[in-house]
Amino acid sequence: METFDFKDGNGPVSAHKHVNGEGWVANTANVSETAFVGPNARVFGKAWVSGNAWVSDNASVFGKAWVFNNTRVFGNTRVFDNAVVSGSAQVSGYARVFNNTRVSGNAEVSGNAQVSGNAWVSGNAWVFDNAWVFGYARVFGDARVFGDAEVSDNARVSGYARVSGNALVSDDTDVSGNTQLS
C-alpha cells in the first residue's frame, strides 16, 4: 500500500498516483479516469474530480470539493471545503475557492482572488487580482470584479458591470448593465 503526505496535518495517508497525469490522489477521494491530475497536483480528503476536469500545476482540490465537467484548476490554486467548480470554469493563479461556493459556466477566478461563503460566480464572469466575493453574493453575466474590490452579503454584479479598485459592494445592492465602480 502506497502512502503520501498531503501536508494537511493528517500525516501520510493511503494514496495512489492518478492514471491520467500521475498526480497524487488520496484513496478517500474520487477521481474519474477521464479527469487529469498533473504530476504536482493533489486531490485529497473526500474531494471529487470527474468528467474532463483538469487539475494541474501545483493546484489542490480537497475537503468535500467537487470539480467536474470541462473545468480547469491550475497554478497554485486551492479549491476546498464544499466548493463546486463546474461547466468550463477556470480557477488559476493563487486563487482560493472555498466554503459553499459555486463557480460555473465559463467563469474565471484568478490571481489572488477569493470566492467564499455561499457566493456564486457564473456565466462569463471574471473575478481576479485581489478581489474577494463572499457571503451570498452573485457575480454573473459578463461582469468583472478585480483590483482590491469586494462584493459581499446579498449583492449582485451582472451584465457588463465592472467593479474594481477598492470598491465595496454589499447588502442587497445590484450593480448591472455597463456600470463601472472603482
User: How many whole angstroms separate alpha carbon 167 and alpha carbon 43?
Assistant: 35
**β-bridge mates for residue 65, sequence order:** none
**β-bridge mates for residue 48, sequence order:** 30, 66
User: How many whole angstroms separate alpha carbon 105 and alpha carbon 164?
Assistant: 22
- Percent helix, percent strand, percent coil in the chain, to nearest 5: 0, 35, 65
> Alpha carbon 15 to chain centroid distance?
23
Taking all residues of the chain, what is their mean pLDDT, rounded to a whole number?
98
Cα end-to-end distance, the chain, whole Å:
54
**β-bridge mates for residue 54, sequence order:** 36, 72
Residue-wise pLDDT for 24-83, tens only, equals 999 999 999 999 999 999 999 999 999 999 999 999 999 999 999 999 999 999 999 999
Least Cα distance to 32 among 49, 54, 15 occurs for 49
pLDDT at 82: 98
Give residue 161's pLDDT band: very low, low, confident or very high (50, 70, 90).
Answer: very high
Least Cα distance to 71 among 37, 39, 98, 40 occurs for 37
Residue-wise pLDDT for 126-152, tens only, equals 999 999 999 999 999 999 999 999 999
pLDDT at 1: 77
pLDDT at 48: 98
pTM of the entire predicted model: 0.97
